[in-house]
């Protein structure tokens, strides 16, 4: 049976007229002030809690907080009184509807939404300035007066910054109770992730709730709606709002603001109200987004930014990264579209809030951002395509079973191409949606392999090979997995982690199998470039493979790098630099390809240019040890010996004393006359070889050459020839460190 109300009774000087609402924090009535002849709102502590000291303290605290605030968008308190054993707040009676009641008529127009939310933000700013967080912002707690002004009501869950007491409340609907320290307060659909986890909910939780209100006013649906409280909490913690539910007229500034307000990480969330006000000002200047204001041109260049893993589990990062790579791979096959390479976009992982700025930095016309969540067999993907000028082109949300991931990727890729306004032939369309495997387990293993391969560390490469092998076990016809395994072997040999005699034959078998399955696979063709040029000594054959790879996929930057290296060793320096710069255009911030430019300049004996390029590479990431390696080589040739030694020492530390970088350091020490230290390096390398580590005879020969020991230098080069060292051909033909040997008959014979 319904509980009795106070309607018709008198409390002190107030005649109770009607019940406005009730909840765990109190009952609110319309009352008549008999002394001042005005209507007021009275909030009464329920009788059941009249002897609960914690409840009474909380009630008094609400009065104190309201008394500390004086803002036109916050309901005014007239006083805290007690009569006939009842404790009650006397407050301003605000006419009009709550926003929750207003939403029953449908979504609010954009201009009205922006006016309302500006007032809401200003009111929150005033409270936050006084160190007060509301902690229960929701449409039901916001009144909209007939003259268009909003008033925030119900500071029952508010807390000041110096209030450290535990606050208790009963469980009610829809307010979530706090029953002990560390439990959550608020209304689940509007609570921040940290609140539902029972962590302190401060001003940033208010900004999250602001985002929830803004979304609901625009979409006429909650950002996090579910049939039960438990499912609502799960949605807040694990899923994104359906961004596609926003109306087409929502300006990009509003969409960006919503994403920032509703970021699950409070550190990345909007930090204060001023950011909200700035975004609203921008949105009001932009006005409604319409199809007429959006881009009519065909988009010819695109960056797919790394998809955000919203699961909260870092072990699932591979899924977002893998989906990003899959989309890049599919879209890059279109000859009409320039797609920024993976290594460039992955430098901006975790920065999707800067998507438009990143797109402009990368020199593209549009950016695609996305979020992915997998829980059990449930997969949720949300994507948005935007012009870098600020116009939203398209957005969608997909809910699939995890084993339908291929269909989801195909649908996304197809819809992206349609919204880029590309005109595709039937052949292009078939290429766009081509699958390399139908085995979901193999696909996930491949994604994990690519995830670790991208780290380019010795451990990362080893782990990537294991995942590629497991993917092949699941699906022996998976061409990309075979190509991935082949690709992982090449840098292992190049950076002297394993011997060429071990790496290249295995890479050849894997690449050959990939090409047997898919003759057009550019990734495998680029691997054959390295095998034929640096292991077989067939530069022309390597060049041919690189050109085939480029023909198969003109957007594949590593193919241009492979071609440039073949041309460099043939002495065709102008052609080589032109090709490697095409690779840079496709992948402008890729460290490996920028280091390859420095290498091309070094072997072309343009040492100043090599030095500048190596430094530019390190400006992007000083921890990239190949950049330090080529900086050291260039410094050595322009007479900056101490800087060369410092660079090689950094490279050695960063690579965990790889034999390649230690050898480079030894040669630099020898050139600087520090023969004792150079001899110690040679001893270290001998010991490493005895322990089974691969030591390049080419790089050891450079130490002996710098020490003036031509016999040992030539003996080391002969050992490198027998080992088929991948550095030998370029070094004996072009490396200035061997100039002192070039007049020797044995060196000429070796060459």
**Using one digit for the tens of pLDDT, what is the confidence trace for 547-565?**
999 998 888 888 999 999 9
User: Is the pLDDT score of 294 beyond 80?
Assistant: no
Q: Are strands 26-33 and 38-44 parallel, antiparallel or unpaired?
A: antiparallel
Tokens of 600: 């091309």
User: Is the pLDDT score of 536 beyond 60?
Assistant: yes
Residue 619 domain flag:
no
Confidence of residue 191 (pLDDT cuts 50, 70, 90): very high
Q: Are residues 142 and 167 in the same domain?
A: yes
Residue 48 domain flag:
yes
From CA 500, how far away is CA 720, in angstroms rounded?
A: 10
Q: Which residues are CB-contacts of 46 (< 8 A; sequence separation ≥ 6)?
A: 26, 27
Q: Which residues are CB-contacts of 330 (< 8 A; sequence separation ≥ 6)?
A: 409, 413, 432, 433, 434
Q: Are residues 264 and 323 in the same domain?
A: no
Which of 432, 466, 481 is at the close of a domain? 432
Q: Which of 554, 472, 475, 457 is nearest to 506 (CA)?
A: 472
Determine the pLDDT at residue 511.
96
The pLDDT tens digits of the residues spanning 140-190 come to 999 999 989 999 987 755 565 544 333 323 233 334 443 333 334 457 899
Tokens of 272: 């204060």
Tokens of 87: 């404790």
Determine the pLDDT at residue 508.
96
Q: Are residues 233 and 336 in the same domain?
A: no
Q: Are strands 159-160 and 132-133 parallel, antiparallel or unpaired?
A: antiparallel
Q: Are residues 374 and 324 in the same domain?
A: yes
From CA 285, how far away is CA 293, in angstroms rounded?
A: 13
Residue 748 domain flag:
no
From CA 667, how far away is CA 116, in angstroms rounded?
A: 70
Number of independent structural domains in the chain: 3
Residue 240 domain flag:
yes
Q: Are residues 105 and 245 in the same domain?
A: yes
User: Is the pLDDT score of 567 beyond 90?
Assistant: yes
Which 8-state DSSP code applies to residue 373? Answer: E
User: Is the pLDDT score of 658 beyond 80?
Assistant: yes
In this structure, what are the phi and psi dihedrals at residue 209, rounded to the nearest 5 degrees?
A: -60, -35
Determine the pLDDT at residue 162.
47
Q: Are residues 132 and 227 in the same domain?
A: yes
Residue 186 domain flag:
yes
> Which segment, 168-177, 289-298, 394-403, 617-626, is predicted with the most confidence on average?
617-626
Q: First-to-last CA distance in the chain?
A: 100
The C-alpha angle with vertex 474 and arms to 473 and 480, in degrees rounded to 5, equals 85
Determine the pLDDT at residue 606.
96
Using CA atoms, how far residue 399 sits from 126, 284, 412, in Å, is 40, 33, 12
Residues 21-37 have a mean pLDDT of 83
Residue 439 domain flag:
no
Residue 742 domain flag:
no
Determine the pLDDT at residue 427.
57
Contact between residue 163 and residue 202 where contact means Cβ atoms under 8 Å apart: no
From CA 136, how far away is CA 212, in angstroms rounded?
A: 11
Contact between residue 750 and residue 717 where contact means Cβ atoms under 8 Å apart: yes
User: Is the pLDDT score of 211 beyond 80?
Assistant: yes
- Is the Cα torsion angle 315, 321, 327, 332 positive or negative in sign? negative
User: Is the pLDDT score of 621 beyond 70?
Assistant: yes
Q: Which of 440, 533, 451 is nearest to 484 (CA)?
A: 451
Which of 251, 286, 321 is at the close of a domain? 286
Q: Which of 132, 20, 34 is nearest to 74 (CA)?
A: 132
Q: Are residues 335 and 417 in the same domain?
A: yes
Greater pLDDT, 441 or 216: 216
Helices and strands (H, E) in the chain, number of each type: 31, 17
pTM for the structure as a whole: 0.58
- Residues taking part in catalysis: 136
Determine the pLDDT at residue 93.
92
Q: What is the 3-state secondary structure (H, E, C) of 498-514?
A: CCHHHHHHHHHHHHHHH
Q: Are residues 245 and 368 in the same domain?
A: no
Residue 115 domain flag:
yes
Determine the pLDDT at residue 334.
74
The pLDDT tens digits of the residues spanning 74-129 come to 988 888 888 877 788 898 999 999 999 999 888 899 999 999 999 999 999 988 98
Q: Are residues 210 and 101 in the same domain?
A: yes
Determine the pLDDT at residue 387.
86
From CA 618, how far away is CA 724, in angstroms rounded?
A: 30
Residues 180-209 have a mean pLDDT of 76
From CA 217, how far away is CA 258, in angstroms rounded?
A: 12
Contact between residue 347 and residue 620 where contact means Cβ atoms under 8 Å apart: yes
Can you give the CATH number for the domain in which 49 is found?
A: 3.30.200.20
Tokens of 664: 């480079």
Residues 500-517 have a mean pLDDT of 95
Contact between residue 385 and residue 419 where contact means Cβ atoms under 8 Å apart: yes
β-pair partners for 371: 308, 382
Sequential DSSP letters for 72-130: TTBPPEEEEEEETTEEEEEEE---SEEHHHHGGG-PPPHHHHHHHHHHHHHHHHHHHHT
The C-alpha angle with vertex 68 and arms to 67 and 71, in degrees rounded to 5, equals 90
Q: Between helices 273-286 and 110-129, what is the axis angle to 10°?
A: 160
Which of 220, 253, 286 is at the close of a domain? 286
Can you give the CATH number for the domain in which 327 is found?
A: 3.40.50.10070
Can you give the CATH number for the domain in which 183 is found?
A: 1.10.510.10
The whole-chain average pLDDT of the chain stands at 85
Question: What is the largest distance, in Å, between two alpha-carbon atoms of the chain?
Answer: 117
Q: Are residues 45 and 130 in the same domain?
A: no
Determine the pLDDT at residue 176.
44
Q: Are residues 23 and 75 in the same domain?
A: yes
Q: Are residues 270 and 159 in the same domain?
A: yes
Residues 280-300 have a mean pLDDT of 69
Determine the pLDDT at residue 184.
40
Task: State the residue range of the domain holding 264.
Answer: 97-286
- Residue at token pair 């020898």: 670
């Amino acid at each position: 049976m319904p509980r009795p109300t106070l309607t018709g009774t008198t409390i002190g000087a107030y005649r109770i007229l009607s019940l406005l609402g009730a909840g765990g924090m109190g009952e609110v009535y319309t009352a008549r002030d008999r002394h001042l002849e005005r209507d007021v709102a009275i909030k009464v502590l329920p009788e059941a809690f009249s002897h609960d000291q914690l409840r009474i303290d909380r009630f008094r605290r609400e009065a104190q907080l309201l008394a500390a605030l004086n803002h036109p968008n916050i309901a005014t308190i007239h006083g805290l009184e007690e009569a006939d054993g009842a404790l009650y707040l006397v407050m301003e009676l605000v006419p009009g509807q709550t926003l929750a009641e207003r939403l029953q008529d449908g979504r609010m127009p954009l201009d009205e939404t922006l006016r309302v939310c500006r007032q809401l933000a200003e009111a929150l700013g005033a409270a936050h300035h006084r160190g007060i967080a509301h902690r229960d912002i929701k449409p039901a707690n916001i009144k909209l007066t007939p003259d268009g002004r909003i008033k925030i009501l119900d500071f029952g869950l508010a807390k000041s910054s110096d209030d450290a007491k535990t606050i208790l409340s009963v469980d009610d609907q829809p307010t979530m109770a706090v029953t002990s320290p560390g439990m959550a307060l608020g209304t689940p659909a509007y609570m921040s992730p940290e609140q539902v986890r029972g962590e302190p909910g401060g001003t940033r939780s208010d900004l999250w709730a602001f985002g929830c209100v803004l979304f609901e006013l625009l979409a006429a649906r909650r950002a996090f709606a579910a049939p039960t409280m438990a499912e609502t909490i799960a949605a807040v913690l694990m899923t994104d709002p359906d961004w596609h539910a926003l109306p087409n007229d929502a300006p990009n500034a509003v969409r960006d603001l919503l994403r920032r307000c509703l970021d699950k990480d409070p550190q990345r969330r909007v930090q204060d109200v001023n950011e909200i006000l700035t975004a609203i000002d921008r949105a009001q200047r932009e006005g409604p987004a319409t199809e007429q204001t959006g881009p009519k041109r065909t988009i010819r260049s695109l960056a797919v930014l790394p998809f955000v893993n919203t699961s909260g589990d870092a072990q699932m990062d591979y899924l977002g990264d893998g989906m990003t790579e899959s989309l890049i791979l599919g879209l890059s096959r279109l000859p009409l579209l320039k797609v920024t390479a993976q290594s460039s976009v992955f430098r901006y992982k975790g920065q999707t809030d800067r998507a438009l700025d990143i797109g402009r930095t990368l020199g593209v016309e549009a950016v695609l951002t996305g979020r992915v969540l997998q829980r059990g067999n449930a997969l949720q993907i949300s994507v948005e395509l935007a012009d870098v000028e600020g116009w939203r082109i398209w957005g969608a949300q997909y809910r699939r079973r995890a084993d339908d991931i291929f269909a989801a990727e195909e649908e996304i890729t197809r819809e992206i191409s349609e919204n880029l306004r590309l005109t595709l032939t039937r052949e292009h369309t078939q290429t766009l949606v081509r699958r390399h495997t139908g085995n979901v387990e193999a696909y996930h293993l491949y994604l994990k392999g690519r995830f670790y391969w991208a780290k380019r560390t010795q451990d990362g490469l080893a782990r990537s090979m294991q995942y590629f092998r497991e993917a092949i076990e699941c699906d022996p016809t998976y061409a990309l997995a075979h190509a991935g395994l082949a690709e992982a072997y090449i840098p292992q040999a190049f950076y002297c982690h394993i011997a060429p005699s071990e790496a290249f034959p295995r890479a050849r078998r894997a690449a050959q199998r990939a090409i047997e399955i898919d003759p057009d696979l550019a990734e495998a063709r680029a691997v054959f470039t390295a095998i034929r040029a640096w292991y077989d000594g067939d530069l022309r054959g390597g060049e041919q493979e690189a050109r085939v790879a480029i023909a198969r996929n003109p957007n594949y930057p590593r193919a241009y790098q492979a071609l440039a290296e073949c041309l460099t060793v043939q002495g065709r320096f102008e052609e080589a630099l032109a090709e490697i710069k095409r690779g840079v255009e496709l992948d402008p911030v890729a460290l490996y390809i920028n280091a390859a430019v420095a290498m091309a300049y070094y072997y072309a004996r343009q040492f100043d240019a090599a030095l500048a390029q190596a430094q530019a590479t390190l400006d992007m990431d000083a921890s990239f040890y190949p950049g330090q390696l080529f900086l050291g080589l260039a410094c050595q040739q322009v007479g900056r010996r101490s800087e060369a030694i410092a660079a090689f020492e950094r490279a050695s530390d960063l690579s965990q004393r790889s034999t390649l970088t230690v050898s480079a350091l030894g040669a630099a020490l020898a050139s600087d006359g520090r023969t004792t230290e150079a001899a110690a390096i040679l001893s270290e390398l001998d010991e490493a070889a005895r322990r089974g580590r691969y030591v390049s005879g080419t790089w050891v020969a450079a130490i002996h050459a710098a020490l003036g020991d031509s016999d040992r230098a030539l003996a080391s080069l002969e050992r490198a020839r027998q080992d088929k060292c991948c550095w030998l051909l370029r070094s004996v033909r072009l490396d200035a460190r061997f100039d002192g040997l070039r007049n020797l008959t044995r060196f000429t014979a070796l060459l």
